[in-house]
């Protein structure tokens, strides 16, 4: 039995080819599965569709003033709301508006009253007048940081 018969050699040859084929197919399946799992991107967390408080606080008044000129109405409305909320929570701005309201000049007093009314309810005004009063409000907010109005008694 030193030498295998030709039929035994053929069986051994076909067994080797079959075993190699199964091993190659298994290896390729394993490699393709690993590649597929690495290529899958995990689902991305949805970004919020609203402005967070940190973003709102980080916006400068000059940026908000530029956002008021945006052609997108939603951006204008959001910027107007942010400006009005900042003005409502700023004591010096309220003092400035009250000072304007107490002035004897009718136009100055009217602008102060309209600006204060617009701060309370910005959706009540039309777009044209809203832009003018918001521009005045931004100017007031910018000027309040640099100087304060003359102090007069309100009574």
Average pLDDT over residues 46-72: 81
What region, left, alpha or beta, does residue 43 occupy, with left being phi > 0 and alpha being psi -120 to 50 degrees? Answer: beta
Average pLDDT over residues 59-73: 85
pTM score: 0.49
- Per-residue pLDDT, 153: 39
Q: Is residue 119 very low, low, confident or very high in pLDDT (cuts 50, 70, 90)?
A: confident
Highest mean pLDDT among 44-53, 88-97, 120-129: 88-97
State the average pLDDT for the chain.
Answer: 77
Q: Is residue 152 very low, low, confident or very high in pLDDT (cuts 50, 70, 90)?
A: very low
Average pLDDT over residues 72-78: 81
- Per-residue pLDDT, 123: 63
The more confidently predicted of residues 39 and 154 is: 39
The ranges assigned to domains in the chain are: 7-42, 53-146
- Per-residue pLDDT, 1: 46
């Amino acid at each position: 039995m030193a030498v295998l018969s030709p039929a035994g050699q053929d069986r051994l040859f076909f067994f080797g080819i079959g075993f190699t084929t199964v091993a190659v197919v298994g290896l390729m399946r394993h490699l393709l599965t690993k590649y597929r799992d690495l290529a899958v991107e995990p689902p991305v967390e949805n970004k919020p569709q609203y402005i967070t408080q940190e973003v709102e606080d980080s916006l400068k008044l000059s940026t908000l003033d530029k956002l008021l000129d945006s052609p997108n109405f939603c951006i204008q409305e959001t910027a107007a709301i942010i400006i009005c909320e900042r003005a409502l929570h700023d004591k010096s701005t309220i003092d400035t508006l009250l000072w304007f309201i107490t002035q004897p000049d009718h136009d100055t007093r009217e602008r102060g009253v309209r600006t204060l009314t617009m701060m309370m309810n910005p959706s009540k005004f039309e777009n044209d007048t809203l832009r003018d009063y918001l521009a005045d409000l931004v100017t007031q907010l910018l000027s309040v940081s640099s100087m304060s109005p003359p102090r007069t008694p309100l009574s």
